Each structure stands twice: as C-alpha cells, then as structure tokens.
Amino acid sequence: ISGIFKAPFAGLLFTLEVLMLDLTMAHLVPLIVSCVTAAILTYAINGFDSMFTFRLSEQFEIAYVWPVILLGICCGLISLYFTKVMNSIETLFRKSHNLYLKWLAGGIVLSLLVFLFPPLYGEGYNTIHTLLNGNPSDLLNNSPFYGTPYLLVFIGCIITFKVVATTVTTGAGGCGGLFAPSLFLGCLMGFLFATLWNRGGF
C-alpha cells in the first residue's frame, strides 16, 4: 500500500489493523521503516504524481452530512454482501479437490463475466480513473451493452458480480487480494449513490 499508493501512513495503519499487531516499538519501528522505504522507492521510480487525481468542483457543505451517512450505510451493506457471497463461493470451491475442475469452472465463470462486464477485468484502477475523470459512459466500451442508456444498471451489475469474479479467481487457484476490489467497489458504489441522489433532486 505504501509503495503502490505512495501512502506510508495508510500502509502502516492497514498493517496494524489487519495483522492486529501490538503498538510496541518492536512492531512499529520495522513497519515505519518499511513503509517509508517503499514510498521513497516509488517516488524515485515513478515520480511524485499520485495514482488517482480529481478536481473538486464544489466545496463540502453541512447539508451533505446526511447523504454521506446514507452512503456509509449502503457501503456497509455492500461489504456485508461481499463477505457472505465470498464465504459461500470459497466453501463451494473447497469441496472440490480436483484442481483441473476448479480451473475449468473458474475460467468459464470469469470469461463469461468479463465478456459481459469488461470493467471486471484486472484490478479496476482504470475504472476508478474513468469515473474520477467524469467519463462514466466509457465503462460501456467493448461490452454488449455499448450504446444503451442503461449505465446505472450496468454499474449495479458490476457491483453485484465483482465479488463473484474476485472469489472465483482466488478459489480456482489464481492470485488476488481484497484491497483493490474494495477500492473498486467503493468507487462504483459512491458514483451510483451520488448519481441516484442527484437525479432524485435531493
């Protein structure tokens, strides 16, 4: 996290939270050194540009507190759904001890999902860039839904099936994590919520 996002403090907190380490010098000092080193190396190799950039079009107002609270509740429900579905699919894959069957099932499911919803391919950073740059209709490119007015339905389907794509990848023996999918889902959920809220005239 420190290296990829150039965020040493976030990497430190994430490690402490996930690994449940004690706040002792024996844990903190090596973590701080590794996080700072990773960030410095990334700055030296890739420069000082941040991974995600955006322009703030209007200032935050106190009236936005309620929609932000509602967005937090929606994201909490999405995370609950993500956890439940992920555990169910992982349990299903554990029942099979045939590696070839796992690979075949994973390949078929992922191929179908990526064909229908191309933004599911990869870690999702390009999708985040697309939404931050204000080009949401570009998400429909290379999909069977290109040229249709169902962008929000398309995004809702991506949110629904992202957990399936992520868990099938790891369950079939592929490499993957949960941090990038969490960013991906948070970005899509925030865009969907904001669009529906604004269209509702609130």
Measured from the Cβ of residue 136, the count of other Cβ atoms closer than 10 Å reads 18
Give pLDDT tens digits for 82-131: 999 988 988 888 888 888 888 898 889 999 999 999 999 888 888 888 88
Give pLDDT tens digits for 54-77: 777 777 788 888 899 999 999 999
Average pLDDT, the chain: 86
Q: Are 2 and 36 in contact (CB under 8 A)?
A: yes
pLDDT tier for residue 160 given thresholds of 50, 70 and 90? very high
Please list the alpha-helical segments (H only) found in the chain.
2-5, 8-19, 25-46, 65-94, 99-116, 125-132, 151-171, 179-199
Amino acid at residue number 14: F
